[in-house]
């Protein structure tokens, strides 16, 4: 091995001294793996066996998959047969929207309308747009209120325009940017009255709220591991019995012939462990995070009195770990980089669209103008957030906003 030059080692030590300690306030993008999930995945990575193989190693892998499926099903009010493993939330959303739409149109060509809220994650919105551009779907946008909520009355009006033409409905359980929680049970019940498949992207909600397929009566729910302390690259579509979406992937026929592909056994095992831990302490953790969030809001408002809290008011209508602000006179990306220089990680919105110079579609749908939509930041808490993280933001945000405003001027 080539020895490292002394000047390189000196530069690395100097950089380590100058870089601030990381204050991670972007758990809605991804949260660090829980120790138990990491240990389970590490142990499983040392094992051999394809879960579709018939030999003993394959049967062992299959047991791991099925035990994991049972854990996830129990946690989210589903039967084990209703858990379809995917590569994550985006694939699960695509499978639900495209698969259910194709199945409905095949049964009745009139059912071409797709209803989705204006504040959906791009995994849903872009899927709906693709269906409109390539498959003849009619995309209808469900308007939201100032807090980002979809009212049952708004959904009823959209359906009743022409009930026989609606193929599928999708409304996310809790918004990934502003944290607003939707009345999913009421919306799903309304869809059920008209026998219309109802899907909800529950990616943000699954670790913080009592998400249940059975209780809501939804047709399909999307969840993913890396938002709740599991690994990136594995998720699930909870698909109610009797729903038969057309597959998006074709191959070996794994997962009820709904989603083909070799199962990632280590990731699935870690996913199940993360679900078990996260749901087991969900209520206590939600209270802890809500207290931190409320203090974060207070500290930001004290430092920047004209900061605007976006989304629902703190309480049951908002995710416990979410605080989303607009800072008048600032560009959000400039403010983000100023905080990053202080060792504080946050987001201008969805991590899937980070770096794209455009205002938040979520805030625009909620009635904000472009300046307000551009000048916003999301601070999101997670299982390893502490009071010191909140205090660090409180100490840094005032100066950062002032510098961002001077730069904008």
Active site residues: 352
Q: 10 Å Cβ neighbour count for 201?
A: 31
Length of the chain: 409
- Pull the structure tokens for residue 143: 């308007």
Three-state DSSP state, 119: coil
Dihedral angle computed from the Cα positions of residues 265, 217, 259 and 127, in that order, rounded to the nearest 10 degrees:
-120
Element housing 378 (H / E): strand 376-380
Three-state DSSP state, 76: coil
- Pull the structure tokens for residue 27: 């758990």
Three-state DSSP state, 324: strand
Nearest CA to 318 out of 116, 222, 203, 177 is that of: 177
Residue 6 to residue 4: CA distance in whole angstroms? 6
The pairs formed by 266-269 with CB atoms below 8 angstroms and a separation of 24 or more are 266/40, 266/41, 266/44, 266/45, 266/47, 267/41, 267/225, 267/230, 267/231, 267/233, 267/234, 268/64, 268/65, 268/68, 268/69, 268/85, 268/234, 269/40, 269/41, 269/44, 269/64, 269/68
Nearest CA to 208 out of 19, 24, 401, 28 is that of: 28
Residue 89 to residue 15: CA distance in whole angstroms? 36
CA 369, chain centre distance (Å): 25
Asked if 394 and 302 count as a contact pair (C-beta separation under 8 A), the reply is yes
């Amino acid at each position: 091995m080539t020895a490292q030059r002394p000047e390189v080692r000196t530069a690395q030590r100097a950089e380590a001294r100058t870089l601030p300690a990381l204050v991670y306030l972007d758990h809605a993008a991804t949260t660090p793996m829980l120790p138990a999930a990491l240990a389970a995945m590490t142990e499983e990575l040392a094992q051999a066996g394809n879960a579709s193989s018939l030999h003993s190693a394959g049967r062992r892998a299959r047991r791991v998959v099925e035990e994991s499926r049972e854990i996830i099903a129990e946690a989210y009010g589903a039967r084990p047969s209703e858990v379809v493993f995917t590569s994550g939330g985006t694939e699960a959303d695509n499978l639900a929207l495209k698969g259910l739409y194709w199945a409905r149109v095949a049964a009745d060509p009139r059912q071409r309308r797709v209803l989705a809220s204006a504040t959906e994650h791009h995994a849903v919105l872009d899927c709906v747009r693709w269906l409109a551009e390539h498959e003849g779907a009619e995309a209808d946008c469900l308007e939201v209120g100032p807090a980002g909520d979809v009212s049952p009355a708004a959904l009823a009006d959209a359906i009743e325009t022409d009930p026989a033409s609606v193929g599928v409905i999708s409304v996310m359980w809790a918004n990934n940017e502003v944290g607003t929680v939707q009345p999913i049970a009421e919306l799903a019940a309304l869809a059920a009255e008209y026998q219309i498949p109802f899907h909800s992207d529950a990616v943000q909600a699954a670790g913080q709220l009592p998400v249940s397929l059975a209780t809501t009566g939804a047709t399909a729910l999307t969840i993913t591991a890396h938002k709740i302390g599991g690994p990136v690259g594995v998720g699930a579509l909870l698909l109610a019995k009797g729903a038969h979406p057309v597959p998006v992937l074709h191959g070996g026929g794994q997962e009820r012939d709904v989603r083909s592909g070799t199962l990632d056994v280590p990731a699935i095992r870690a996913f199940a462990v993360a679900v078990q831990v996260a749901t087991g302490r969900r209520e206590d953790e939600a209270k802890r995070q809500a207290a931190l969030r409320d203090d974060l809001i207070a500290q930001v408002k004290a430092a920047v009195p004209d900061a605007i809290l976006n989304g629902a008011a703190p309480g049951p209508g908002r995710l416990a770990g979410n605080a989303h602000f607009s800072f008048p006179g600032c560009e959000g990306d400039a403010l983000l980089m100023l905080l990053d220089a202080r060792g504080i990680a946050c987001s201008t919105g969805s991590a899937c669209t980070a770096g794209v110079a455009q205002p938040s579609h979520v805030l625009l749908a909620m009635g904000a103008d472009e300046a307000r939509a551009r000048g916003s930041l999301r601070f999101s808490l997670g299982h390893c957030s502490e009071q010191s993280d909140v205090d660090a933001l409180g100490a840094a945000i005032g100066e950062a906003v002032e510098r961002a405003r001077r730069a904008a001027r």
